[in-house]
Structure 1
Amino acid sequence: MLSSPQSQTAALVPGSLRSVHHIALNVKDMQASRHFYGNILGLHELTGDEVPKTLVDLVAAGKVANFVTPDGTVIDLFWEPELSPPDADPSRAFTRANHLAFDIAPQLFDTALEVLKQHQVQIDSGPVTRPTGRGIYFYDPDGLIIEIRCDPLPGGA
């Protein structure tokens, strides 16, 4: 969508947006998604007093689960049991989101690959090696493409 000259004058000052506060994902199977984000990807699930006050009732009812990345980005999973992608083939994009990428230390990249294999996570593509580092693309339980990527090893090894 193109912006009009009027909307350009009302833009936020560059740098006003400090960081991503949270990412909200709709999930069909809450148990499978909690297992995926918590046990496979190793993200910390917020519980008890860690749960945002605005979501306490939804978490208690099993309709929301919250995970946090080491940099503090919260991933909210909203249970939508009737959720179905327009196409059952997850290799066909069905949402405006392309993928969600997580950064990992280069020394841990191969470990991440092994964890994905052990859990029989469906791989979309990769691993790939580029001048910018390595990456692998795979699917979460609802078909969203997830990437784990790393910078090149120091010294180009």
Structure 2
Amino acid sequence: MLATSQLTSGLAVGALRSVHHIAFNVKDMQVSRHFYGMFLGLRELTGDAVPTTLKALVAEGKVANFVTPDGTVIDLFWEPELLPPHLDPCQQFTRANHLAFDVAPDGFDQVVDILQKSQVTIDHGPVTRPTGRGIYFYDPDGFLIEIRCDPADC
């Protein structure tokens, strides 16, 4: 894994505008939908509110999307073969899929350039979808991070 001391330069403070979404792997979609929707009281995205790229997966019951009061989206990805959480607390990311940050459209290409020139491991991207552009890379502990911008913006 990459040591933070290996990073020579990075994004400017304030380049990341907000957390765009958080994606979790879940073993039982119905139980998780009940927990996030009924227990936590989060609004589930339905119909036209579902991102275009996820409509088919939502229709198949493989993804569900919820919105927090501050507008952060929580995506649940159904992984029926998901193993129980690891007893070792150092294995804490067994349920998370990735964390996504939003950037200003005019800064996206600069982010890509910085990431490609750094020593971070890029998983894939940049990609362009109807929901925007994104690039996926790993933090020093191997957790997947996405930096993205909206299609109308970039």
Q: State the TM-score, normalizing by the size of structure 1.
A: 0.54
Match of 2:145 in 1: none
Matches within 5 A, 1:1-150: 1-4=2-5, 7-9=7-9, 11-85=10-84, 87=86, 93=89, 94-96=91-93
Give the length in aligned residue pairs.
94
- Residue 85 of structure 1 and its aligned partner are, at CA, apart by 2.4
**1:85-125 CA-partner distances (Å, limit 9, x unpaired):** 254x6xx53423899xxxxxxxxxxxxxxxxxxxxxxxxxx
- Please state how far the C-alpha of 1:34 moved relative to its aligned partner: 0.2
| SS state at 2:64 partner | strand
Query: Is contact 2:26-2:95 (8 Å) kept?
Result: no
Which runs of at least 4 in structure 1 moved beyond 4 Å after TM superposition? none
Bigger Rg over Cα: 1
Aligned-pair distance for 1:70? Answer: 1.1
Structure with greater strand share of residues: 2
Distance 1:97 1:82, change over 3 A: closer
Q: Percent identity?
A: 66
**Matches of 1:74 and 1:49 in 2, distance apart?**
15
Cα 1:33–1:71 shift into 2, 3 Å: same
Which stretches in structure 2 are left out of the alignment for 5+ residues? 97-154
Gaps of 5+ in 1: 100-157
- Separation of aligned partners in 1, 2:34 and 2:47: 18
Greater relative contact order, per chain length (Cα 8 Å cut-off, separation 6+): 2
Following the alignment from structure 1 to structure 2, what is the Cα–Cα distance between the partners of residues 38 and 64?
14
RMSD of aligned residue pairs (Cα, Å)? 2.3
Shift of 1:37: 0.3
Taking the aligned partners of 1:73 and 1:86, their CA distance within structure 2 comes to: 24
Q: Deviations over 1:52-104 (max 9, x none)?
A: 111011001100000000110000000000001254x6xx53423899xxxxx
